[in-house]
Amino acid sequence: GAVVSQHPSRVICKSGTSVKIECRSLDFQATTMFWYRQFPKQSLMLMATSNEGSKATYEQGVEKDKFLINHASLTLSTLTVTSAHPEDSSFYICSASEGTSTDTQYFGPGTRLTVL
Amino acid sequence: EDKVVQSPLSLVVHEGDTVTLNCSYEVTNFRSLLWYKQEKKAPTFLFMLTSSGIEKKSGRLSSILDKKELFSILNITATQTGDSAVYLCAVVSNSGYALNFGKGTSLLVTP
């Protein structure tokens, strides 16, 4: 149980384009989903927290207009990187939590974004 | 500011050895501490600890939390090459549900 999928697993795009990444909880309802970013040999940095049906809460320094997050249902959250630039190239990982009674987050397999 | 410090940053051992990974934290209104294993992709959940002194065990892995001294350890006995990974420690405070990660311990188990 507690499986989280992400799509796509890898994407290469040109500078200036927008990229959408999907995160799905496959066998549970995710009240809360999180988006992280990880640079090589570094730990995960939280970008934003999203709750179903409400606006995402962004961490300090994360541009909400650049990283659009939508959490339209209890099983799906999307992250859209708008007008991507090479410095946005990174490993993006989502996680999902089953509810407010647990802190355990289950992670998706991640999306490797490369912006040329 | 909340802080999670893991040590050592990296470790190389031989198969069969026992290793102990450390995680210390300074968190306002601590609620829980979690351990994850990260291989090439995203982290996989190992343990969640909320109470002091209660050991959590899963096969060759075990973990315990000391809320007085503000640290946790993750033990791996009889290590195997498949244990090679980055082990991440994260804490959660009562202010929300976000995981605050340490930098991780990179473990390499050689045959």
For residues A29-55, average pLDDT: 88
For the cut 80, the answer to whether the pLDDT of residue A101 exceeds it is no
Asked whether the beta carbons of A35 and B98 are under 8 A apart, the reply is no
Among residues A27, A24, A79, A33, the alpha carbon closest in space to that of A53 is found at A33
By CB neighbour count within 10 A (0-12 exposed, 13-18 middle, 19+ buried), where does B111 fall?
Answer: exposed
For the four alpha carbons of B81, B62, B11 and B85, in that order, the dihedral sign comes to positive
The answer to whether A49 contacts chain B (CB < 8 Å) is yes
Helix (H) or strand (E) holding A51: strand A45-51
CA neighbours within 13 Å on the CB side: how many for B96?
A: 15
Enumerate residue ranges in chain B where pLDDT < 50. Answer: none
For residues A36-40, average pLDDT: 90
Which residues in chain A have their CB less than 8 angstroms from residue B104's CB? 43
Answer yes or no: do B34 and A103 touch at CB < 8 A.
yes
Answer yes or no: do A103 and B98 touch at CB < 8 A.
no
CA neighbours within 13 Å on the CB side: how many for B62?
A: 9
Chain A closest-CA separation from residue B53 CA (Å): 19
Which residues in chain B have their CB less than 8 angstroms from residue A6's CB? 42
Q: pLDDT-based confidence at A100, cuts 50/70/90?
A: low
Best B50, B87, B92, B97 member to test A by mutation, with max A CBs in 10 Å, is: B97
The answer to whether A97 contacts chain B (CB < 8 Å) is yes
* pLDDT for res A31: 83
Answer yes or no: do B103 and A105 touch at CB < 8 A.
no
